[in-house]
């Protein structure tokens, strides 16, 4: 799924966590977010900056679900994954046997992964306790990694239903 398709389905809490990671770890990205959202909402950035962040972030959630904001949503998500949710990245890649840098960045992926192995790796993420974060990552994984595994969507639908 495209990140824009998934973003509007995020819980308010996960939306806030992802955007808060941008605020904490990448001021340039967060400033760009505020500028883009102000333009999209027809407001001045200063007006939005004066709002409490949690309230502002909820206002941004609907816009970030639009395809026009896909790049900034993707950058915010990657920022969140790399700073706040690296265990999602590393656990999933470890379970799949994909070599990575210890922080979840992989250079190469196998051409295909069988469904039972995918299901096991996906369940390992869900077992970590952050179901919303894990499902968000799993839904967007093909989009951010460029993989096209035949069994991926079927495995994810099966795991998400449990």
- How do residues 103-149 score in pLDDT, each as one tens digit? 888 888 999 999 999 999 999 999 988 899 999 999 999 988 888 99
- Using the predicted structure, report yes or no on whether residue 1 has a pLDDT greater than 80: no
What DSSP character marks residue 113? -
Q: What is the pLDDT confidence band of residue 151, given thresholds at 50, 70 and 90?
A: very high
Among candidates 123, 113, 114, which has minimal Cα distance to 92?
123
State the average pLDDT over residues 75-101.
92
Instruction: Identify the helix (H) or strand (E) that includes residue 133.
Output: helix 131-145
């Amino acid at each position: 799924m495209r990140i824009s398709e998934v973003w509007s389905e995020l819980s308010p809490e996960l939306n806030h966590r992802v955007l808060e990671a941008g605020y904490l770890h990448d001021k340039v990205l967060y400033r760009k977010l505020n500028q883009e959202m102000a333009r999209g909402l027809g407001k001045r950035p200063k007006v939005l900056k004066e709002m409490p962040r949690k309230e502002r972030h909820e206002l941004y959630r609907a816009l970030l679900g639009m395809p026009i904001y896909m790049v900034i949503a993707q950058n915010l998500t990657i920022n969140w994954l790399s700073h706040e949710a690296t265990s999602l990245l590393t656990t999933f890649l470890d379970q799949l046997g994909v070599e990575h840098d210890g922080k979840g960045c992989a250079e190469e992926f196998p051409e295909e992964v069988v469904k039972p192995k995918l299901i096991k790796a996906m369940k390992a993420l869900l077992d970590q306790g952050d179901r919303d974060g894990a499902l968000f990552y799993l839904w967007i994984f093909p989009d951010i990694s460029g993989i096209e595994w035949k069994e991926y969507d079927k495995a994810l639908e099966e795991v998400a239903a449990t």
